[in-house]
Amino acid sequence: MLEFIQSHLTIISLVLFWVASAAIGSLPAPTATSSAFYVWFFKFSNTLIGALTRAYNSKVEASPNFQAAVNIQTAAKT
């Protein structure tokens, strides 16, 4: 098995990057009630995998009025 891994390092590294990217991509965006550590972790991990737009585009969800706006929109649709 070790010989297989050593001979296919490029493929294995791409698969591991894809798995890490999927795991980090599934993290929910920070909200106004998220801890400072989670906000940092979210931005740091998304920056590492190259999802810069997602890392720095969470300002709307962090707004204190975000959940109230979601509730208004949800109530208007029903």
Domain ranges of the chain: 2-77
Tell me the per-residue pLDDT of 49-72, one tens digit each, with 9 for 90 and over: 887 777 777 565 556 666 777 787
Terminus-to-terminus CA distance in the chain, angstroms?
A: 56
Q: Indicate the pLDDT class of residue 15, thresholds 50, 70 and 90.
A: very high
pTM: 0.61
For residue 42, pLDDT beyond 80: yes
- SS3 of the chain: the string is CHHHHHHCHHHHHHHHHHHHHHHHHCCCCCCCCCCHHHHHHHHHHHHHCCCHHHHHCCCCCCCCCHHHHHHHHHHHHC
For the chain, what is the mean pLDDT? 82
Q: Give me the sign of the Cα torsion angle 50, 21, 43, 74.
A: positive
